[in-house]
Amino acid sequence: MELEFSGDTPRFKELREKMVKYQIQQRGIRDPNVLQAMLFVPRHLFVPEEHLNEAYDDHPLPIGKGQTISQPYIVALMTEALELKKEDKVLEIGTGSGYQAAILALIAKEVYTVERIKELYESAKERLDRLGFKNIFFKLFDGTLGWEDHSPFDAILVTAGAPSVPTPLVNQLKDGGRLVIPVGERHNQELIKITKKDGLQRTQNLGGCRFVDLVGVHGWKV
């Protein structure tokens, strides 16, 4: 896969190195694949022009349509929790800017990403295609229903806050698979990791977080 990051500059590269060192490594993220991917992907190419100077700051940013690109540390924490291997097939719910999908696509074999807002789906697809990603597949759909045709998945990541864990997502996880999802109230969730093993589910709580709503049949109602 030949990637085309012509919009990168030494200044942005330096900001990215600082982001990875101070916001991510120093807070305990160790997976070398995660650190490498976040050093590599020019995050500023995924944020709106008016927020360009904040692209590497320690907080989420608006991407239009009332949605956000997650804080860099949260992207790193969720990606590490997925325990990705290079042959893995991953499902992401909530494409948004496409930044998280790009990080996943550098580590895993294939990324299937679902978005419910047409404008975001179109701009993320255009952006990731233009940057040269060949292993990301897009769908405009209610991701609380998963992506049945390509299931089962080794890992599933939900990047919007859910009232409860959508059953279709658990069903579309392979045995040995990992699901990471923010679950809780509308403005305050816990990041939950579910591991499926021999028909059993193990649940871990990775801590508090704050995401925009997961809207759908198995999510919040519009």
Chain residues binding ligand SAH by CB under 6 A are 67-70, 93-94, 96-97, 99-100, 114-117, 120, 142-144, 159-160, 212, 214-216, 219
Of 169 and 199, nearer to ligand SAH (C-beta) is 169
Pick the closest to residue 166 from 186, 188, 183, 185 (CA basis). 183
Out of 6, 70, 151, 164, pick the active-site residue: 70
> DSSP code of 183?
E
Based on CB atoms, which residue is closest to ligand SAH, 167 or 176? 167
Among 61, 133, 130, 73, residue whose Cα is nearest residue 97: 61
Cα dihedral 29/166/70/13 (nearest 10) = 60
For residue 47, the minimal CB distance to ligand SAH (Å) is 9
Other Cβ atoms less than 10 A from the Cβ of 50: the count is 9
Nearer to ligand SAH, 94 or 177 (CB): 94
Measured from the CB of residue 113, what is the shortest distance to ligand SAH in angstroms?
8
- The count of other CB atoms within 10 Å of the CB of residue 34 is 26
Q: What is the nearest approach in angstroms of ligand SAH to the Cβ of residue 79? A: 11
Q: Which residues contact 153 (CB under 8 A, 6 or more apart)?
A: 89, 90, 91, 112, 172, 173, 174, 177
3-state helix, strand, coil in the chain (%, to 5): 35, 30, 35
Calculate helix-pair angle for 10-18, 32-40, nearest 10 degrees.
150
Nearer to ligand SAH, 122 or 175 (CB): 122
Which of 44/116 has CB closer to ligand SAH? 116
Q: How far is the CB of 117 from ligand SAH (least distance, A)?
A: 4
Question: Among this protein's residues, is 70 annotated catalytic?
Answer: yes
Amino acid at 180: V
What is the smallest separation between the CB atom of 166 and ligand SAH, expressed in angstroms? 8
Please list the active-site residues: 70
